[in-house]
Structure 1
């Protein structure tokens, strides 16, 4: 079998399933052994996030840790953290911190059979120097976010990413703004937007989620995804306060993006749910929403949730961030909170042709995106 190391900034078993997870599964189904390399953890994490430490410690093993069929995991433990703090955010630390890994990272990769691979898929730019710890035939960089929009971003990462873009054999971008930014460095970047595993959202029977049972006679709006600072809290508060008869459910890891809105009786922040339960939540929802702020971060998001919502046949309303306007699909866009409220009211009383929603999603399956990746790797 061929081998690929995927260097990512999330865990493989994250409660939010992103594009990298789907690609890992597709590589594993198409003749590859996959190593999912989680971000390094350090002594600093023992203070700030013990749950994360416990999770990554299980992956810090000299024996293969199988996460799924043909997919394995590893997480380096480093003595020095590479984080947004004076001294620890420098290029010197960025280069050296993986060299402080215990056990020795290069030897561990060799032990678990990933010291010499066909593809190094390097998305996590903090791990730029992982290139020095293994040999590979192709280097792939997938630009999936506007990194400068995150709080943990620092200048050294910008320099690392520019170098990585220059040095990679293949560069993919998931959004038009990201494509344009990469094109300033190299012209052969490939625009490869996100998608959906369409069949995951088609079920023979659907089970009403327990959280919905007491609201069966109400209209339900749903949001699925991380609940963070990118959500437009002001817009959401405006909408829920004007539609008190409509129930709004927010599913996903709660990073405090909607703090204070729990005071509304029609707002339900219910935490993350298993991926295979999402089709059931969507089936029994009337409208799905993407209430993002419009800013540097969100303008470069090609939302996986859009394709998942539509794959389930759930009519969708979104705010007007840049990337969403480059997607020609059967969903509604609102430019401000007043229009969002008005369109949502209309949609709640409209009968939609769910087959057209599903047809659009089916044309945007991860498998079709993966065919492009395979073609590029074969050249």
Structure 2
């Protein structure tokens, strides 16, 4: 494979999280593609207001950086946040001496759309990962959907939210680096520890976790994510351990019995395809999750869902009672590897006629 591929992504790869574009970029580079991953600029406004801390900004390279996987990462620095100000993707690439001729561009960050993007490649693909019901991202998303050659959504709910589109479409849910997280079939049963790894923001139902902890005092709840502990997490059997480096997550998950996906009522949760679902399963955990149009119960593979306060405790109890480690879940996750997802993505992208 000798294609040149540009990802325009909402998240860089130098923090505690890995998102789909990071995994696609890594896998494509391993297959021989020349991959550039440009993510949302860090603006002076973000730094001055504290939206991005000095410590978080300090670990992000200030110029193009080729990682151990062969992916070139670029996180531009700007005065004003995108899409405001004078930032243009093509200009940022040229400033770093990066050739602006690509075979395909895949964009998942609407804020990175500008007039230079369609000039970079004959195939443009929008990869929506979230719901944007209003605001500037909604406006830009409509422009993108009307301009690209193809759309690859992370869930049918996210694709449906775009409304009628003329471009070719495909749904590829998020996958898992199964080898990294894999548990051993002969592991001993895990202790009664429930783990959550992810953002502690409006999408996270901290009240549900506190309620679970109070009704299950002999179970430990480990909460890992950046930012301070939500004030509602007061139960004594909850441990909020802060952000954890990505490389240390497998060890944390393999020490737990149940993985938590306590999604809040935030409307954006309806379309989410959480990578943590398959990471939990790959690590041998049973999973308890708020049911959504995307996340459904699969109790044979250790996925238990609830719809609200009335059935949340029962779902957790079934997850805790599921055989540990969750061997069927490990096998289920293995079928959702990023290698398989990347194959489907590449076949779709390079099957497009282009513009």
What is the TM-score of this pair, normalised by structure 1? Answer: 0.82
Secondary structure in 1 matching 2:333: helix
Aligned counterpart, 2:327: 355
CA contact (8 A) 1:221 1:288 kept: yes
Distance between the aligned counterparts of 1:131 and 1:327, measured in 2? 45
Aligned counterpart, 1:211: none
CA contact (8 A) 1:3 1:33 kept: yes
Matched, 1:287 2:258: yes
Matched, 1:98 2:118: no
Cα shift at 1:172: 0.5
- Which of the residues 123, 136, 142 maps onto 2:108? 123
Distance between the aligned counterparts of 1:375 and 1:361, measured in 2? 22
Aligned counterpart, 1:89: none
Distance between the aligned counterparts of 1:37 and 1:293, measured in 2? 30
Distance between the aligned counterparts of 1:118 and 1:135, measured in 2? 8
How many residue pairs get aligned? The number is 346
Aligned counterpart, 1:51: 55
Map 1:62-211 to 2 at 5 A: 64-82=64-82, 94=83, 97-98=86-87, 104-105=91-92, 107-109=94-96, 111=97, 113-129=98-114, 131-132=116-117, 135-148=120-133, 155-186=135-166, 188-202=168-182
- Which of the residues 197, 203, 216 maps onto 1:224? 197
Matched, 1:17 2:2: no
CA contact (8 A) 1:249 1:268 kept: yes
Distance between the aligned counterparts of 2:311 and 2:185, measured in 1? 35
Distance between the aligned counterparts of 1:80 and 1:204, measured in 2? 48
Distance between the aligned counterparts of 2:163 and 2:340, measured in 1? 24
What is the TM-score of this pair, normalised by structure 2? Answer: 0.87
Deviations 1:46-97 (A, max 9, x none): 31233344345x33x3xx4223332112222333334xxxxxxxxxxx4753
Cα shift at 1:247: 0.4
Cα shift at 1:282: 2.0
Distance between the aligned counterparts of 1:281 and 1:162, measured in 2? 40
Cα shift at 1:281: 1.9
CA contact (8 A) 2:15 2:56 kept: no
Distance between the aligned counterparts of 2:300 and 2:93, measured in 1? 46
- Structure 1 unmatched runs, 5+: 83-93, 149-153, 209-215
Distance between the aligned counterparts of 1:242 and 1:121, measured in 2? 45
Cα shift at 1:323: 1.3
Distance between the aligned counterparts of 2:211 and 2:299, measured in 1? 28
Aligned counterpart, 1:305: 276
- Structure 2 unmatched runs, 5+: none
Matched, 1:272 2:243: yes
Secondary structure in 1 matching 2:6: strand
Cα shift at 1:342: 2.1
Shift in CA distance, 300/47, structure 1 to aligned 2, threshold 3 Å: same
Distance between the aligned counterparts of 1:353 and 1:42, measured in 2? 44
Distance between the aligned counterparts of 1:378 and 1:51, measured in 2? 40
Deviations 1:298-318 (A, max 9, x none): 111011111111111211111
Cα shift at 1:268: 0.6
CA contact (8 A) 1:183 1:189 kept: no
Aligned counterpart, 2:36: 35
